DNA sequence: ACTATCCTTCCGAACGTTCGTCAGGATGAT
DNA sequence: ATCATCCTGACGAACGTTCGGAAGGATAGT
């Protein structure tokens, strides 16, 4: 299917060069077609971009949900730390996270409203998934009551953001060092 | 001076729309001149962009250095927490941080090498300035010896990154909430 | 089996617009 | 008279987009 090929290549280009920096001509060239042919599969640049954004966001949320479901038996420290590590491993290879973060942080101005709205939805979903984990850990007495579930969740999301930044900027190796440090301090900060 | 006016406006446009998304015509229009007149003051778009990048980076480093110098008498917790808070206040008014972060995380491809190199230099400088703070605090017995100076520094830089992300995405209000949470956990994690 | 029809996919050519850039001239202050 | 500054005008290149038509496969009618 040519449409999926276009999607693959476009994701790469959008992740690397952003919306304005990516050109349909370049994308088409790498697919092996002319840029006009893209219009057979998509109404235009915006539709292609938003189609990708939608799919990638769903993928990101699924990744988190799947992980939490698969490892829900783990203790909270193993669960959260493992999550960070797995994220680094998983998102070194493909451009999903890079595209998503770039789009959410710096959306093309004419799509600002749509994307920021989705960004908040994303954040909300993440919180919704994480809060029960902290509730459970608090109930089990694994983390200190001095840190509320909301505080623990917010701080963990901040740790995640720090990891994203390092992934974007320094790559997987540097991220790992930074995450080790962040996690050590974070866990000391919330454990009983 | 027109050159500084151009710089001001260009900074705003680059921060908001990125290198590719910002056009010299728009910048000139807001300054109140024609786009060709920019060439009286700058060789071209790249020179303008890199000139800004250079100045902004110096400003960012000066901000940190100044703050640490001015408040070196403070205890480490007041010093670091105050730094985070001040950054949020400062960030709102000008586009320096936004431009800098956007450029460092997602540089225009044809300037990739220059900018990434400067990015690493920036990180290195930040570490160099923070490590003595942790050394002192360790010597004073204010933070636990279980967290090395390198770990404490790395984790604090991660807290900063988390703050940047939130500043970019959610604005100052959300950042404040996130920072409160991050700092509470962080300080619990490193204090004696 | 043959033909006519339709649909999908792709491309050549061109559209209008915007981009960054360059050359040359007008203006005004020193 | 020199100089800096800003202008008009124009340049080629790239952008996203549209249109018309060519090629091929599948389908239906005879």
**Chain A residues with CB inside 8 Å of B163's CB?**
158
DSSP structural state of residue B10: H
3-class DSSP state of A143: strand
Residues A180 and A98 in one domain: yes
Does residue B117 surpass a pLDDT of 70?
yes
Q: What is each CA distance from A66 to A55, A72, A160, in whole angstroms?
A: 16, 10, 17
Give SS3 for A33: coil
Do A35 and A74 reside in the same domain of the chain?
A: no
A chain contacts of residue B166, beta-carbon cutoff 8 Å: 158, 161
Contact between A84 and A163 (Cβ < 8 Å): yes
B66 has a pLDDT exceeding 90: yes
* Contact with chain B for residue A106, Cβ under 8 A: yes
* Cα dihedral A54, A58, A63, A69 in deg (nearest 10): 170
**CA nearest to nucleotide C11 C1': residue:** A34
**Per-residue buried b or exposed e for B55-72, using 16+ beta carbons within 10 Å of the residue's own CB:** ebbeebeebbeebbeeee
CA of B7 to C1' of D9 (A): 26
A17, B145, B158 from B80: Cα distances, Å: 35, 18, 13
Name every chain B residue with its beta carbon within 8 A of the beta carbon of A179.
Answer: 158
B36: Cβ under 7 Å from strand D? yes
Please name the member of A21, A160, A190 whose beta carbon is closest to the beta carbon of B20.
A21
Same-domain status, A27 and A121:
no
Token pair in block for residue B77: 């917790």
* Residue A154 pLDDT greater than 90, yes or no: yes
A184 occurs within a structural domain: yes
In a domain, B154, yes or no: yes
Residues A159 and A110 in one domain: yes
A149 shares its domain with A86: yes
Residue of A13, A121, A155, A164 to mutate, interface with B, max B Cβ within 10 Å: A155
Same domain for A76 and A11, yes or no, is no
Q: How far is Cα B185 from Cα A139, in angstroms, rounded to an integer?
A: 19
For the stretch B132-152, pLDDT in tens is: 999 999 999 999 999 999 999
**pLDDT of B92 over the 80 cut:** no
What Cα–Cα distance (Å) separates residue B65 from each residue in B58, B128, B160, B162?
10, 10, 15, 20
Q: Is the pLDDT of residue A174 over 90?
A: no
Which residue from A149, A185, A81 is spatially nearest to B80, judged by alpha carbons?
Answer: A185
Three-state secondary-structure class, residue B102: helix
Which nucleotide has the least CA–C1' distance to B2? D5
Q: Do A1 and A66 have their domain in common?
A: no
- Kindly report, residue by residue over A118-151, the tens digit of the pLDDT: 999 999 999 999 999 999 999 999 999 999 999 9
Does the pLDDT of residue A188 top 80, yes or no? yes
One domain for residues A123 and A166:
yes
Helix ranges, chain A (H): 2-21, 24-31, 38-41, 45-70, 76-93, 96-105, 112-139, 149-190
Domain-embedded: residue B109 = yes
| Facing B105 at nearest CB: one of A150, A169, A187 | A169
Q: Is A151 at the interface with chain B, CB within 8 A?
A: yes
CATH code where residue B155 lies? 1.10.357.10
Q: Please tell me whether residues A99 and A175 are part of one structural domain.
A: yes
Q: What is the mean pLDDT of residues A20-43?
A: 98
Share of chain A above pLDDT 70, in %: 99
Chain A CB contacts of B111 under 8 Å are none
The nucleotides of chain D lying under 7 Å from a protein CB are 4-10, 14-20
Whether residue A7 is found in the same domain as residue A67: no
Q: What CATH number has the domain bearing residue A8?
A: 1.10.10.60
Kindly report the nearest CA distance between residue B14 and chain A, in angstroms. 11
User: Hey, is the C-beta of A111 within 8 angstroms of any chain B C-beta?
Assistant: no
Report if residue A47 sits inside a domain: no
Question: Would you say residue B61 lies in a domain?
Answer: yes
Top residue of B185, B186, B190 to mutate, by most chain A CBs within 10 Å, is B185
pLDDT at B91 over 80: no
Q: How many residues does chain B have?
A: 192
Residue B23 inside a domain? The answer is no
Find the angle CA(A34)-CA(A37)-CA(A39) to the nearest 5 degrees. Answer: 135
How many domains would you assign to chain A? Answer: 2
Domain range for A155 is 52-190
Q: Give the distance, in angstroms, between residue B184 CA and nucleotide D5 C1'.
A: 55
Residues A117 and A148 in one domain: yes
| pLDDT the model gives residue A92 | 66
% of chain B at pLDDT higher than 90: 89
Identify nearest nucleotide to residue B41 by CA to C1′ distance: D5
The pLDDT assigned to B134 comes to 97
Residue A85: the pLDDT is 95
In this structure, how many other beta carbons lie within 10 angstroms of the beta carbon of residue B121?
A: 12
Rounded Cα gap, residues B90 and A7, in angstroms: 40
Q: Is B107 helix (H, G, I), strand (E, B) or coil?
A: coil
The answer to whether residues A105 and A182 belong to one domain is: yes
Asked if the structure places residue A78 within a domain, the reply is yes
Q: How many CB pairs under 8 A join A and B?
A: 148
DSSP code of residue B109: G
Residue A15, pLDDT above cutoff 80: yes
pLDDT for B89: 85
Give domain status of residue A87, yes or no. Answer: yes
Which are the contacts of A32, defined by CB distance < 8 A and separation ≥ 6? none
CA distance A143 to A145: 7
């Amino acid at each position: 299917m040519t449409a999926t090929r276009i999607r693959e290549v476009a994701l790469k280009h959008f992740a690397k060069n952003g919306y304005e920096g990516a050109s349909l001509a370049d994308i088409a060239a790498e697919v092996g077609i002319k840029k006009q042919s893209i219009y057979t599969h998509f109404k235009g640049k915006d539709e292609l971009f938003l189609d990708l954004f939608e799919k990638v966001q769903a993928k990101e949320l699924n990744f988190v949900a799947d992980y939490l479901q698969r490892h829900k038996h783990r203790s909270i420290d193993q669960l959260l730390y493992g999550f960070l590590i797995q994220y680094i491993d998983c998102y070194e290879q493909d451009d999903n996270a890079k595209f998503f973060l770039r789009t959410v942080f710096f959306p093309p101005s004419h799509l600002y409203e749509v994307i920021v709205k989705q960004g908040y939805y994303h954040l909300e979903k993440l919180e919704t998934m994480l809060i029960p984990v902290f509730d459970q850990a608090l109930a089990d007495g694994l983390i200190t009551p001095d840190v509320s579930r909301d505080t623990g969740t917010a701080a963990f999301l901040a740790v995640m953001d720090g990891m994203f930044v390092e992934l974007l900027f320094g790559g997987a190796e540097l991220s790992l060092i930074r995450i080790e440090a962040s996690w050590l301090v974070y866990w000391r900060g919330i454990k009983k």
